[in-house]
Amino acid sequence: MQQFTPATIAAAGKVIAVHLNYPSRASQRGRTPDQPSYFLKPSSSLSLTDGTVERPAGCELLAFEGEVALIIGASARRVSIEDAWTHVAFVTASNDLGIYDLRYADKGSNLRSKGGDGFTPVGPTLIPAQEIDPAALRIRTWLNGEVVQEDNTGTLLFSFARLVADLSQLLTLEPGDIILTGTPAGASVAQPGDVVEVEVDSPASGISSGRLSTTVVEGTVPLADFGAGPKADDVERAEAYGAAVPATSPATATQSPVLTAELKAKLESVATATLSSQLRKRGLNNVSIDGLKSTRPANKIVGTARTLRFVPNREDLFKAHGAGYNAQKRAIDTLRNGDILIMEARGEKGTGTVGDILALRAQVNGAAAIITDGGVRDMSAVAALEIPTYYSNPHPAVLGRRHIPWDVDLTVSCGGATVQPGDIIVADADGILVIPPALANELADDSIVQEHEESYIAAMVAEGHGVDGLYPMNAEWRARYQDWALTHPLTGPMAGAS
């Protein structure tokens, strides 16, 4: 069978998408159209399988929609429904990606929200249209290996032939043009690090498009301030996530490729005091989260930062942002193994920022810790959980007294430190450090070497030597240390390292 290739992309003069076409999706949206309606996507949005798509910096709601794509093989102008299918050359899988944060700016046309580069992956295999029954296809979508969409084209509100015939009444469909035929229920939001796969197949014949795979990555360049900026509210969040999505399916926003098991072991083996001195040598003096207590002060914590920002409560805004599936609940729900949730609460002690139920949810999801520079309610219950929680003080009030949960996975301030999603957090009895990911490996290695040297210095002090010239070591003492190191090699994570 043929593959969807750059040549196929080059041949696509138009990409036309249908708004609603599956009853399951129409029910989810609360409306069933009498006639199909469409929007255009630029051909520059097309991409191949096993690629990446960028969620623009500052955006929150990158939604996926698995769809059946039709590729026109013969020009169609004013064709009948009976003749329309003969103008379709191939069928394959597609993913109609879109940024719901930008829908407000051009709602209906969807140009900015759905027209971005890479926002229309298609492929990988082209199924000959005349070899299958267009009303007997199955569409499935997987998010990180879990099926989240499954439906069949026998349920469509508008058949494929009707779509082709309808469009051809006013415009010429040309060879290479692509029609995206709608998505079923289960479309939802993907986070950086997530892998979305879509497949179209004919169960009766065994013919398949193969899995169209796309990995989401986080953008690093913010949108220019002279255009429409990202804006999300509870209405858009509900639309993006969809009513049928389970609470456990949204993925973390910061699956760090930096914090490997090896690096984690290295960071766990050294004290934050040592890491702090190494950060200082690199000119980083303001990387500690200060003034907080811990429910598990003896625990050593290493993980990847997720962030949540609260803003001061304003009653007219709390209804839209504080109720429902708000930013606090989304942040907690999407935590995964090894994540550490960092909350910006402005040091406000007059209300809680997390309680026992949400802390338990974070623990069940595998989060490594919760860190807030605000209050914690249900203190006894939170303290009884295994997950460490760092906080300023207990307080019985709910967050609505002083806070609105505003947004997630952006740069925040907590305990006097700036924290970005993906930063590496290390905490022990001495305190909490924020480590830039780019420095983490060399920082860990140098800290292990420093502690090895300090173990020698401690041994010499225990033998009765003074610290002058020994701490820090002068040339004479360093030569002695190097001799000592020959019989006392590094152990643990750095053992065998050159």
- 46-68 residue pLDDT tens: 998 888 999 999 899 999 999 99
Q: What is the mean pLDDT of residues 467-473?
A: 91
CA gap 353, 369 in Å, rounded: 14
Element at 413 (helix H, strand E)? strand 412-414
Percentage with pLDDT > 70 across the chain? 94
What is the reported pLDDT for 246? 33
Mean pLDDT of the chain: 90
Give per-residue pLDDT as tens, 101-135. 998 888 778 898 999 999 999 999 999 999 999 99
**Closest alpha carbon to 240 in 45, 66, 65:** 65
Give per-residue pLDDT as tens, 336-377. 889 999 999 999 999 999 999 999 999 998 999 999 999 999
- Boundaries of every domain in the chain: 6-241, 261-440, 454-494
More confident residue, 412 or 236: 412
Burial of 257 (0-12, 13-18, 19+ CB in 10 A): exposed
Q: What is the mean pLDDT of residues 147-166?
A: 93
Topology of domain 261-440, CATH = Glucose Oxidase; domain 1 (3.50.30)
Topology of domain 6-241, CATH = Fumarylacetoacetate hydrolase; domain 2 (3.90.850)
What is the reported pLDDT for 251? 35
Taking the CA of residue 227 as centre, how many other CA atoms within 13 Å lie in the half-sphere pointing to its CB? 9
Give strand pairing partners of 92.
69
Q: What is the DSSP letter of 297?
A: T
Q: Is the pLDDT of residue 249 over 50?
A: no
Q: Is the pLDDT of residue 474 over 50?
A: yes
What is the reported pLDDT for 50? 83
Q: Is the pLDDT of residue 460 over 80?
A: yes
- pTM for this prediction: 0.52
What is the reported pLDDT for 495? 58
Q: Is the pLDDT of residue 250 over 70?
A: no
What is the reported pLDDT for 118? 94
